[in-house]
Structure 1
């Protein structure tokens, strides 16, 4: 089991990092991802989003399963019955079963499931490592790459009540730090950014921040202008496309 855990951890560490932070009006997801076609962050349901690092084909299977679970539960009962906690439990069971099975290799993935609430105190963020355990996070969390170093950096600087611009700048600063202590420059073209915006009047709170709006936020740190971002790609009953992220090798 120790060898299986080490195998999975090494695969996850090869992936580029994803950072998730709470801010005043919701939750922001920031990933180092130069691909415009493959996404690390995606919508699952009305108030729920999913982020992952590791092998794309493995976490894409999990994303699709999560969308199906959410759609079926929302249709069978009510949309409010679809929660991040319930989805995290489903993922935990799946990952735990795969990790303990001797018939197949463990998944080289680490997931984040987040749900935006009516207020910051109602937000939920869950991190799911390769072995299917669930970690309830608050404020900020990082997975993949040098996640320990990034998490330490965020823990010292993240605070409640940050604006979107402040949270985004902090996320980019943390992702820019190398393992040797140096810093890189990350441009808007190298980032994938999405938010769960509790102030959005629509039932679906997920949206992506792209192009000029993302560049302005990085340069000025101002709040996003409504309607400038492209609508989120993801799951749920919208039927929109899915979540990729790292390539098949976990790079």
Structure 2
């Protein structure tokens, strides 16, 4: 579904990514792991066309997307839950959810408003509240819900549960497990390794703008030295 092939990305004259490659197949859940500042969010921004790559190739659904604008990439079927949520504070929950809602790819069954609210029932009671009236956890749920309303083929979450209360984190992870069980492809960044090991099929660890390790949940769970070297605080 998604092939990122040896991409390099710069911020001005400063190089942030060095030959990063990753692959996500149909229905797979893949993680990007690593300490802060290692290039995970830049990889997501490069995939979405927010920070254009300087070399390499990004292919989604068989088509190159690395020269497309962000809105065109989104319309091809990639839904982004960005770091920091970035919901519209002056729109209601309902308006946030329907503002960009679409099913351009004819997804069946579609993520309609009722379906998405069944995944996040907490939002059903907040439909008339404005974005800036929600808690941080509710805003994160809304960010995921808004992305699902575009009926994406691939869902990308940058810092899925960072800074959220344990109860809200559990609701987010429950929703992601449900999406996986429905065959949804997901790329997720988060620091909750225990939850990621239960959710994901494969993992990519990044350090200093490079992918330094790839493997399965079983391989990562049993490698304490690897976790201490690249993921420990």
- Report the TM-score when normalising by structure 2: 0.27
User: Higher relative contact order by CA 8 Å / sep ≥ 6: 1 or 2?
Assistant: 1
- Report the TM-score when normalising by structure 1: 0.26
Larger % of strand: which? 2
